[in-house]
Chain A
């Protein structure tokens, strides 16, 4: 570990990485209207600069010996109360290095794409200000060296998420989707804050090093409570059961937002938090099992929901939830580098598909209903073929990023003797291939099923070039970061995450074979049903109507929450508003006011305005005092 100042070697520039987007956000916020189209350019350049600085510092980091790849930059003392201090301190190690590269790299592409996508929006400058602000908070989150600073970033990205989901707040549904996202994640955040308070009271510090050093010495119950409270925060942020309901609705925001915040970066913050806090989770033991179960449930559950959505963005949203579930499964098996690898791969192909969906909407007059698409690949070839790459990656086809990521996780499950996890995970993978195949073939293949699909047009290069770059990343990431036992990613992350678990099971080749066969078979099935023209999928849909409706509505979880929490909550609010507020608080306040008024009304009778009566009062008062003095003498 090394402490660096602001101007020592390359690492002195670490603080610039989050600061550049912050400055750009401030400029866009105050002068965005005057910059007009320049706002998008400025924002993109700011994030791009952040990416360049990230690459340089990460490169410098990798020049150092493996056991020495941690750099700490203390900027200033933030909180100092007695012996408890929190510094604004940044930490660059291999884990945060991967994260800043993803955030700034994918972020830059999405910013560039948004220049085209948001063209002509009346709040163009403000959009990019929010987007930059988000990047700043996200970078703060992953670069923080203590939980307090991490929490600042954590809440900051939540705020930006809220602002951007409700960016087109004129539509009431967007505004309420934003509110839902904010309130739902808030539940997890509050639990997390309690967890942080518990850490402070037990350890006396929020610095990562000290917390992790002390984690092993804490009582079993305490450390489990801390781990579960932190995980509750991760559940909210990463949209896991039971707090996932906000993510599908969050698609109300502009599509670049869905890609950046609700697929590539913010929702992965939960995974990052758990990986970062691994020593705490490992000290507890049971906490990791909870993570595993939650992840597994979500991976499967969300995949079934994704299968029944008709809105292109909602399919992708549920898919994101499901993929995040896989990441948590990996974390739960202590396969941290696998989770981060999946995070990176997912950032590429999910951002790619979201931006592709945005491009489709752009080219078809904001059409999002899969039933009214079809045959788009002929009208918009770049969008279509890059989307195919993204879909193949998600389905887990060799040799794309998604294949390596998912395959490694399932392999570890098999090799560590967790057969049932392997089976459920494979079923989830099967569903993933099926739903993404359905999306792909409904949207891009077959015959056009609406006027808009008929007359779709390809998006401008400012939108398609990022798609191509992301598609290239999706292909190359798998090859370069391929995560075998001696693979680059796990070796790179070893200083933070430790060695990956090993064991005996089916040979790797057989497992990969099974995975690929399943993926291709499911894609084939999707093609046969939705694009070959040999099957009328509308009839199948009709026959499975109750099932389809239930899955489309997320198995009625929203309705359940509405009955159990929202409506009683509203009723309680109304009760306290009428009975308590009006009946008690208001009456008390009004009563005090009325009493003073009545007292004053009585008192003002004395004020007759007759000077002589005042004089009489003076005289009588003087006499009274004299009499009193006389009596006392």
Chain B
């Protein structure tokens, strides 16, 4: 018996919401970063689930792509966070206000 698609979609929605809330409410750049990863994986889950439902591989291929890109993004993102910490001694995003108009 197959698990109904709704389970996956709901789980994906919950994960995405958690991620979004994390991005919006957390101040620590690392935690925001982790929340972004959570959002990405929520979407990956949805992609794979729909792919299975339609019996096509497109969604899974796309999920792989998204994972690879996410891995590359982690490398760059962490490097930036390390650089910001070295320069400012903190990773609190509210204190990095250099772009204020």
Contacts and interface: CB of A to CB of B under 8 A. Distances in A.
Contact of B94 (A605, A607, A610, A619): A610
Given A611-B93, A612-B94, A619 B99 contact: no
B96 A611 contact: yes
B24 interface: yes
Contacts of A615: 23-24, 32
Interface in A589-633: 603-612, 615-616, 619
B24 A612 contact: yes
Contacts of B96: 609, 611
A603 B101 CA distance: 9
Contact of A609 (B25, B32, B98): B98
Contacts of B101: 603-609
A611 B25 CA distance: 11
Nearest to B99: A609
B93 A612 contact: yes
B100 interface: yes
Interface residues of B, number: 14
A388 to B, nearest CB: 87
Nearest to B94: A610
B95 to A, nearest CB: 10
B60 to A, nearest CB: 24
Contacts of B93: 610-612
B87 interface: no
Contacts of B97: 608-610
A486 B97 CA distance: 101
B66 interface: no
B6 to A, nearest CB: 19
A417 B81 CA distance: 108
B24 A607 contact: no
Contacts of A609: 96-101
A605 B100 CA distance: 8
A528 to B, nearest CB: 94
Interface string B20-33: 10011101000010
Contacts of A608: 97, 100-101
Contacts of B24: 612, 615-616, 619
Interface residues of A, number: 13
A616 B94 CA distance: 14
A309 to B, nearest CB: 73
Nearest to B23: A615
A608 B93 CA distance: 12
A331 B98 CA distance: 83
Contacts of B20: 619
Contacts of A604: 101
Interface string A262-273: 000000000000
Interface in A558-609: 603-609
A607 B99 contact: yes
Interface string B74-92: 0000000000000000000
Nearest to A612: B24
A390 B41 CA distance: 108
Contacts of B23: 612, 615, 619
Interface in A405-427: none
A474 B12 CA distance: 112
A616 B24 CA distance: 6
A315 to B, nearest CB: 75
Nearest to A622: B20
A9 to B, nearest CB: 80
A626 to B, nearest CB: 12
A597 to B, nearest CB: 13
Nearest to B97: A609
Contacts of A606: 101
Contacts of A616: 24
A360 to B, nearest CB: 77
A615 B32 CA distance: 10
A561 B24 CA distance: 80
Nearest to A615: B23
A338 to B, nearest CB: 83
A612 B93 CA distance: 8
Nearest to A607: B101
A616 B98 CA distance: 18
Contacts of B99: 607, 609
A149 B29 CA distance: 76
A576 to B, nearest CB: 41
Given A609-B98, A615-B23, 12 more contacts: A605-B101, A607-B100, A608-B100, A608-B101, A609-B99, A612-B23, A612-B24, A612-B94, A615-B24, A615-B32, A616-B24, A619-B24
The 6 A-B pairs at the shortest CB distance, nearest first, are namely A607-B101, A609-B100, A604-B101, A609-B97, A611-B93, A609-B99
Interface of B: 20, 23-25, 27, 32, 93-94, 96-101
Interface of A: 603-612, 615-616, 619
10 contacts: A606-B101, A610-B94, A610-B97, A611-B93, A611-B94, A612-B24, A612-B25, A612-B27, A612-B93, A619-B24
